[in-house]
Amino acid sequence: MNTDIKEEILRLRAELDHHNKRYYVDNSPEISDAEYDGMMRRLENLEQEHPEYDDPYSPTRRVGSDITKGFTQASHIYPMLSLSNTYSIEEVDAWVRRTDEGLAGHETEIVGEMKFDGTGISLIYEKGRLVRAVTRGDGEKGDVVTDNVMTIRSIPLQLTGSGWPDFFEIRGEIVLPWKEFERLNAERAFNEEPLFANPRNAAAGTLKLQNSAEVARRGLDAYLYYLLGEDLPYDNHYDNMMAAREWGFKVSDAMTRLNSIAEIDSYINYWDTARRELPVATDGLVFKVNNLRQQLNLGFRAKSPRWAIAYKFQAERALTRLRYVSFDVGRMGNITPVANLEPVLLSGTIVKRASLHNEDIIKALDIHEGDMLYVEKGGEIIPKITGVDTSAREMAARPIEFVSHCPACGAPLVRVEGEAAWVCPDKYNCPPQIIGRIEHFVGRRMMDIDGIGEETAKMLYERGLVRSIADLYDLRVEDLENFEGFGRKSAERVMDGIRQSRQIPFDRVLFALSIPYVGETTAKKIARSVRSVDKLMSLGREALESIEDVGPRIAESILDFFASESNRSIIERLKIAGVQMELPEEEGGQKSDRLAGKTIVISGVFSLHSRDQYKDMIERNGGKNSGSISKKTDFVLAGDNMGPAKLEKARSLGIPVINEEDFLKMIE
């Protein structure tokens, strides 16, 4: 029995260490907060029941870290601990009773406040001026991000009013409002950059940018929630925060004094609904003992104060009626069903549409015309349909049928073998596919032609000016300046982008061509292998499959693409226009074969080169990059803060772990 308990403790520690890094360092969580909290609570209970397995490095003894190399670190004057979480009103009530007992029956006033879903910050003020801003980091120290924080207009640089101490610390949450989040993701979608998963990740990532001008452009906001210092104006939390509001700090109107369990329960029930109308993301409420002396008497656990608790909201879910299902056509011809809904407020935004992904999902959900559908958002980018209220279904309602012909051009659809996707096969006459390829071609990671978005690409196509990507190089300023929203300057900006695109390297041109299944990484490997589009067009199936990462499906797709006379004509026109269709001699091929046949995993944060640069070095010296450690891994190139789970796996498999310096010596 004890062996099983020890194994479970070790497993939980390893998993929590992994998820700490994904959440705090990578800003890319893999599990929900509820799952994480459940694992942490289980580990805390096991460690309390079995102190013989105590470990000072256990996740229960520390908080996660968001420290980033490249920033100066500073120690916190007071540790920035996390809060105990609960998803149950009953557990909040139980906490209140325990608190009353811990204070020997003294009258306990509780302050309820909103738990904003952002990234924690500590602000230090001296003589009324902001002197330092530090991220939460590992709770003991964090990154100094003062220059970036000074761009946030809701954070005062010089205090107003009077009565503030000469020196104090105030803590809060840096957030990205829904409006700014959607604007940023629209920009990133247009440029085909990875979208932010939620406002929290976007806020955390923005705060760590090295360019404070870009931070200012992103539109961060801040809510402050706790004042610390030796000479505070009041002996209680609420009055101190009201004073801070007078000094110029943004303090949430949701902050309220509560004097009974009934008031606390009512507060939870109210904000569980009302929060949906807030302009920023929230994921719960926080309850704190108001009196500062009582806070000191209650003290702390290993990683959280006893005088506060966080109540987490369940993922937001709404019930709304399906108006109709439309079918969108993507640039590769994939047909995506979309549920068009009666507008419903969800996570601070009005939701009118939600992707149904494919025919199989429609059938699995058993969606009928006019159904009442459950929609969830939970801070994610895209609302999703999670269920149907069949009790509200009308008797005569018919099941939703997937279309048999392309809604744009009328061509009979084709089912992709082994997949749930239906595709329009008429690639060269279907307007949405052509417009999609134009929009893809001009994107930032492809040809980087500024000023042409979805609407402009559609307008160019509909007016007959651009019917293929090659037509872009025949455009003139006069063709554009009379477009709606265009003037002479914006037209000249587009033409400048087109001129500069002639210098874009061949691997990005190859990605821009929209060859099915040839993504950014694959295009780079193909370009380095074949070095020119002429060579690529001359290769047969076997030669194509010999290129790294090019399997039978990609090889077939490349052959089909260049078998089209239309595509060959576009390639010739791009050549004539001066677009780069080969790699310069000095950039082609490998540097060496020193890493030939070796599979290498990169993990951690590096100081001498970026991760992408190391990946490039590995490929150009004959090696292969891999994202996960297995028996086939030859060695791990490790920087600082390598994930403990990866390190443990490498050790268990006997795989060497080398640092930057040793790697660079290896390839010289």
* Domain CATH code at residue 522: 1.10.150.20
Q: Are residues 334 and 262 in the same domain?
A: no
Per-residue pLDDT reduced to its tens digit, 119-146: 999 999 999 999 999 999 878 888 899 9
Please check whether residue 556 lies inside any domain of the structure: yes
Per-residue pLDDT band for 63 (boundaries 50, 70, 90) equals very low
The pLDDT value recorded for residue 588 is 46
Please check whether residue 418 lies inside any domain of the structure: no
Q: Which of 116, 127, 209, 184 is nearest to 154 (CA)?
A: 116
Q: Are residues 438 and 582 in the same domain?
A: yes
- Answer with the one of 24, 39, 61 that is the final residue of a domain: 61
pTM (whole model) above 0.85: no
CA atoms within 13 A on the CB side of 288: 24
Is residue 258 predicted with pLDDT exceeding 90? Answer: yes
Q: Are residues 296 and 321 in the same domain?
A: no
CA atoms within 13 A on the CB side of 513: 32
Question: For the residues 164-172, what does the mean pLDDT come to?
Answer: 95
Q: Are residues 292 and 370 in the same domain?
A: no
Annotated catalytic residue, options 21, 115, 141, 288: 115
Q: Are residues 653 and 522 in the same domain?
A: no
Question: For the residues 36-40, what does the mean pLDDT come to?
Answer: 81
Q: Are residues 123 and 50 in the same domain?
A: no
Question: How far from chain centre, in Å, is Cα 308?
Answer: 29
Q: Are residues 106 and 164 in the same domain?
A: yes
Find the CATH number of the domain harbouring 368.
Answer: 2.40.50.140
Q: Which of 62, 69, 64 is nearest to 28 (CA)?
A: 64
Question: For the residues 152-177, what does the mean pLDDT come to?
Answer: 92
Is residue 47 predicted with pLDDT exceeding 70? Answer: yes
Q: Are residues 352 and 334 in the same domain?
A: yes
Please check whether residue 329 lies inside any domain of the structure: yes
* Interatomic CA distance for residues 71 and 78, integer angstroms: 20
Q: Are residues 350 and 376 in the same domain?
A: yes
Cβ neighbour number for residue 63 with a 10 Å cutoff: 20
Find the CATH number of the domain harbouring 609.
Answer: 3.40.50.10190
Please check whether residue 455 lies inside any domain of the structure: yes
Please check whether residue 629 lies inside any domain of the structure: yes
- Answer with the one of 290, 312, 334 that is the final residue of a domain: 312
Per-residue pLDDT reduced to its tens digit, 73-105: 888 998 888 888 888 899 999 999 999 988 886
Find the CATH number of the domain harbouring 51.
Answer: 1.10.287.610
- Answer with the one of 274, 295, 312 that is the final residue of a domain: 312
Q: Are residues 326 and 438 in the same domain?
A: no
Q: Are residues 216 and 165 in the same domain?
A: yes
Q: Which of 321, 452, 303, 441 is nearest to 389 (CA)?
A: 321
Please check whether residue 421 lies inside any domain of the structure: no
* Structural domain count, the chain: 5
Annotation says 115 is catalytic = yes
Question: For the residues 161-181, what does the mean pLDDT come to?
Answer: 93
| Domain that residue 643 falls in | 599-667
637 bridge partner residues: 602, 658
Higher pLDDT, 495 or 25: 495
- Residue the block writes with tokens 């999609």: 436
Q: Are residues 541 and 636 in the same domain?
A: no
Written as one letter, the residue type at 370 is G
Per-residue pLDDT reduced to its tens digit, 352-366: 988 888 888 898 889
Please check whether residue 52 lies inside any domain of the structure: yes
Question: For the residues 39-55, what does the mean pLDDT come to?
Answer: 83
Please check whether residue 88 lies inside any domain of the structure: yes
